[in-house]
Structure 1
Amino acid sequence: MATAPSHYDVIIVGAGLSGIDAAYRLQTECPRKSYAILEARGAIGGTWDLFRYPGIRSDSDMYTLGFPFRPWTGDKAIADGGSIRSYVEDTAREFGIDHRIRFDTRVVRASWSTDSAIWTLDIEESGRRTTLTCRFLYMGSGYYDYAAGFTPEWQDVDAFQGKVVHPQHWPADLETAGQRIVVIGSGATAVTLVPALAETAAHVTMLQRSPTYIVSRPSQDGFAQAVQKALPPSLAGRATRWKSILLGIATYSFARRKPATVKAAILRNVAAQLPEGYEIARDFEPRYAPWDQRICLVPDADLFHALKSGRAEIVTDTITRFTPTGLALASGREIAADIVVTATGLVLKLFGGVELVVDGRAVDPAERMAYKGMMLSDVPNLVLAFGYTNASWTLKCDLSARYACRLLNHMDREGVTTCTPRRDWAVAREPMLGFTSGYVTRATAILPQQGATAPWRVHQNYLLDLAALSAAPLDDGVMAFTRPGEAVADAAPAERLKPAVAFAIGVGVVGGLALLFRGRPKG
């Protein structure tokens, strides 16, 4: 058996959606570059291999969550977790990416040396400590802690005589049929679990402190079905993908411009799914505007069917304490339970917990600014795959991978080895994510900041990013390109950063569309 190399041009961390996407882009756009994928677990799929709770499915349509170079052809736009996992595995196998993956390989520390222009990675591979080196590091490790989800502290949990489980680590042998189950939470995981569990459980209660916006949509996409009959597969895939992209941008932008109108429409849709007289405001009307937090999608109204059947209910209340047989609530009610599922959120963790060091100094992401939403200020030769909060994860990650390939090819042409986005200290800092979700607010201390102006502005808009990442000049006065051991110059003054005429012509149409759909929240 051949010994695996110890040095690569590029190392990708993570074999989930973003890692497999980056590998494909490297193979096709930088075919001379050697690369490997380091995967801490023993399987392909990332999130879609880790999560195995009942009913797990995508919360975005598969025509945008899927890879643009291998369009999703399944019957359902909102697909189950097993189908997504198989799709990612099949993609890796089809393009030979699976042979480039080093499984059970966890990156502990990544250290950059300016003198050698090399990343040195301290890794644990199948229980053995060793090192690898690379010129360029691509972090496709996701954004949350795989070890554990978020669980609040409740009083007297140990007194409960039933089982308490977190969806992130669902026991394969957990028997739910005929059980009384309480699902604590109101997000995407909770609204997925409730109808799935209600199929066989004695009763399921979704216990929430406050409501979330919930929208029902068909699991199958009528437009996709029509174009698949009328067009060749490749054209049908592209047409459906762009329909979904533009519709998503338009609806999000409209929601930010007209939050009251969209809120009323969502609540009317909810009311139409439930019996007359149901207290919609109590269980389905959030205190925030649409898209201040992510909106939950339920395919084919499955949650509402479970509620109407009586097999499930929603209770909006707060937990006082656990009891031996269930949960005592602030209202005085006690809910009996055999199983309590804590669908209470994720814990964000950047870089999969890898410690970053640049020239001997530890990198604190919270002290850095995000360059184009995918690199950190003053951190050389590193790209972070970080998806959208208002659209499919893969949309932004694919743009990031293609941008990384543009950088690598540009560096080869210019004979340079290092690219570093140099922070402009005159640019005002803002939170990277404009979301009020609990998992975001809890992670404020570890997330990088964004800037008030480009290229430090993190767009939640695919068209704006398409222009900024696919066609904008790489040498923009902020990105510094250097040779080994060469000092990195400060960022150019803002007045020197002028867009190239060719760029303006090339992306005018895309930029115009982006501005058309770009919405701004009021207030």
Structure 2
Amino acid sequence: MVEPKQYKTDVLIVGAGISGIAAAYHLKEKCPNHDFMILEGMESHGGTWLTHKYPGVRSDSDLYTFGYSFKPWTGVPIASADEILNYMGEVISESKLNDQLYFSHKIASADWNSEKKCWVVKGEIGAEKQPFELESNILWMAAGYYDHKTPYTPEFPGMSDFKGEIIHPQHWPEALDYSDKQVVVIGSGATAATIIPAMAGDTKHITMLQRSPTYFVPLENKNELADTLRQIDVPEALVHDIVRKKILFDAKQIHEASNAYPDIVKAELLKTVRGFLGEEFDVEKHFTPSYRPWQQRIACVPDGDLFAGINAGKASVVTDQIDRFVNNGILLKSGELLEADIIVTATGFNLSMVGGVQVSLDGVPVDFASMTTYRGVLFSGMPNFINVFGYLRTSWTMRAELVAEYVCRLLNHMNEHNLTVVTPELRESDANMTLKPFISPDDFNPGYLQRAGHLMPKQGDRAPWQFSQDYYQECEELPAASLNDDVLKYG
């Protein structure tokens, strides 16, 4: 394990996942006068892609947009965790970030010290839990929004009565033998749609038990535009840029259509699924959600692999409510018994603000729910504190890079004017503004946000106290945002 040469730095990046590596790359490229460190609690880079070990784990966003703008993606659009980890490893190596990366450094707390004008960060190193402490002028939180330690599993009645294994995908046992076993996967999202086709060939039978359906879109796992551009010898960097722009444009069109003509988009999505499963399959019951398209993520099914398993009789879908677990499976409200040797609770995750780090200002714990976001990047009353929260429809990376570019511009501005502290402060005219949820449930309402909305900061009813989930809006606004407005207070 690499040990820091010193425990003081200009910028501390927390997390070596997709956001942290983006932050480090842009910081190194655009702010050469700032030294920085990246602390990661796990043993390597990757974040979510390192945490998740369940069968078939893969992206549910295309890698042209989930990948970085500065590193062309050359593989299939929907990629495996191993492929993503390898890609990130190449970025780290090519960008020479290894000297700034410190793994197995678990941060417990971060306290802003007004006298020292810096963040004092404390935590533990490795399995030995050796304590460490460091000081950093800027704290750049890039820990994502997953609670990697505690996934979300509802307390179903009778769980202790079940004689088989109950497994959450987030804590997948490496030696699990599911060959010739009856498996029930509770859930209908991207995780369930990934696990089921990956396991179907080896199980006796696998069932997706969903209490409510999800929209799925089956697509060939290739990009015809990229393939065509490569055939005519367009350089990979240009292929990446063109395909990236085309995917973003298409996604914008679909999102706008989902808002303006939800019934038409819904009909098209169901028509595609019906094309895989046939007219006799009850698509209305099993694949028709109660919400409009894109009010939650639309899960991609590469090459229709989930539907292929259903057609082959190796997998099935049951839409019902759970009455209770019994010793040999799950009893449904309808009275049907789903026999199982293994039950997989693909029921989602818990959201964690700033990676679960205990944040305080001069020893006073921070209540993020009482704060207002500044452009979705900083928080009111928080000095030198950056938080990365990406897009929920568009790939997370698109916003992680926009935030990185904005922060680098802010840091260079501070450096040029010999400033060391920046704090967004509510103006007198903002005191009585209407506060809204960080993510509007009318716009986007997955379970993890509904469960944790009360823990998140608010947004206001006016600029710059708003957080847009619209990439096209932000890609114009953030690069042009003034660094000398009447909200940012420097010292």
The interval holding the TM-score normalised by the smaller chain is over 0.9
What's the counterpart of residue 429 of structure 1?
A: 435
Deviates more, 1:428-437 or 1:405-414: 428-437
What's the counterpart of residue 330 of structure 1?
A: 333
What's the counterpart of residue 51 of structure 1?
A: 52
The CA deviation at 1:2 is 7.8
- Partners of 1:301 and 1:3 in 2: CA distance: 47
Kept in 2: contact 1:123–1:132 (CA 8 A)? no
- Partners of 1:474 and 1:153 in 2: CA distance: 48
What's the counterpart of residue 134 of structure 2?
A: 132
- Partners of 1:43 and 1:2 in 2: CA distance: 14
Deviations 1:255-279 (CA, angstroms, capped at 9, x unpaired): 1121111111111111111122211
Kept in 1: contact 2:4–2:102 (CA 8 A)? no
- Partners of 1:243 and 1:272 in 2: CA distance: 25
TM-score normalised by length of structure 1: 0.90
> After TM superposition, which residue ranges in structure 1, 4 or more long, deviate above 4 angstroms?
none
Deviations 1:56-91 (CA, angstroms, capped at 9, x unpaired): 1111110000011112111x1011111111111121
- Partners of 2:247 and 2:483 in 1: CA distance: 29
- Partners of 1:380 and 1:464 in 2: CA distance: 26
Name which of 245, 250, 257 aligns with 2:253. Answer: 250
Which runs of 5 or more residues in structure 2 are unaligned? none
Name which of 461, 467, 474 aligns with 1:458. Answer: 467
- Partners of 2:227 and 2:3 in 1: CA distance: 47
The CA deviation at 1:391 is 1.1
Pairs within 5 Å for 1:75-154 = 76-126=76-126, 127-154=129-156
Kept in 2: contact 1:7–1:132 (CA 8 A)? yes
- Partners of 2:3 and 2:143 in 1: CA distance: 27
The CA deviation at 1:133 is 0.4
Report SS of the residue matched to 1:444.
helix
- Partners of 2:355 and 2:63 in 1: CA distance: 25
What's the counterpart of residue 512 of structure 1?
A: none
The CA deviation at 1:93 is 1.5
Which runs of 5 or more residues in structure 1 are unaligned? 483-523
- Partners of 2:237 and 2:310 in 1: CA distance: 40
The CA deviation at 1:97 is 1.0
What's the counterpart of residue 311 of structure 1?
A: 314
Deviations 1:37-65 (CA, angstroms, capped at 9, x unpaired): 00001111110111011111111110000
Deviations 1:81-107 (CA, angstroms, capped at 9, x unpaired): 111111111211121112211111111
Give the number of aligned pairs. 481
Name which of 208, 211, 216 aligns with 1:209. Answer: 211
The CA deviation at 1:115 is 3.0
- Partners of 2:117 and 2:321 in 1: CA distance: 54
Name which of 227, 230, 249 aligns with 1:228. Answer: 230
Kept in 2: contact 1:227–1:236 (CA 8 A)? yes
- Partners of 1:372 and 1:324 in 2: CA distance: 51
- Partners of 1:87 and 1:411 in 2: CA distance: 33
Deviates more, 1:114-123 or 1:56-65: 114-123
Deviations 1:85-139 (CA, angstroms, capped at 9, x unpaired): 1111121112111221111111111111233321110121231112100110110
- Partners of 1:212 and 1:122 in 2: CA distance: 42
Relative to structure 1, the CA distance from residue 3 to residue 474 in structure 2 (aligned partners, 3 Å threshold; closer, same or farther) is closer
The CA deviation at 1:385 is 1.0
The CA deviation at 1:471 is 2.1
- Partners of 2:248 and 2:6 in 1: CA distance: 40
- Partners of 1:58 and 1:471 in 2: CA distance: 32
Kept in 1: contact 2:60–2:299 (CA 8 A)? yes
- Partners of 1:148 and 1:77 in 2: CA distance: 30
What's the counterpart of residue 505 of structure 1?
A: none
Kept in 1: contact 2:422–2:488 (CA 8 A)? yes
Report SS of the residue matched to 1:442.
helix
What's the counterpart of residue 292 of structure 1?
A: 295
Kept in 2: contact 1:14–1:140 (CA 8 A)? yes
- Partners of 1:459 and 1:444 in 2: CA distance: 16
Relative to structure 1, the CA distance from residue 216 to residue 3 in structure 2 (aligned partners, 3 Å threshold; closer, same or farther) is closer
- Partners of 1:11 and 1:90 in 2: CA distance: 22
**2:222 corresponds to which letter in structure 1?**
Q
Pairs within 5 Å for 1:327-476 = 327-423=330-426, 424-434=430-440, 435-476=444-485
Relative to structure 1, the CA distance from residue 254 to residue 476 in structure 2 (aligned partners, 3 Å threshold; closer, same or farther) is farther
CA RMSD of aligned residues (A): 1.3
- Partners of 1:116 and 1:302 in 2: CA distance: 56
Report SS of the residue matched to 1:314.
strand
Name which of 193, 218, 222 aligns with 2:220. Answer: 218
- Partners of 2:311 and 2:323 in 1: CA distance: 28
Report SS of the residue matched to 1:443.
helix
- Partners of 1:425 and 1:248 in 2: CA distance: 37
Deviations 1:130-153 (CA, angstroms, capped at 9, x unpaired): 210011011011101110210000
Kept in 1: contact 2:146–2:350 (CA 8 A)? yes
The CA deviation at 1:416 is 1.2
- Partners of 1:104 and 1:339 in 2: CA distance: 32
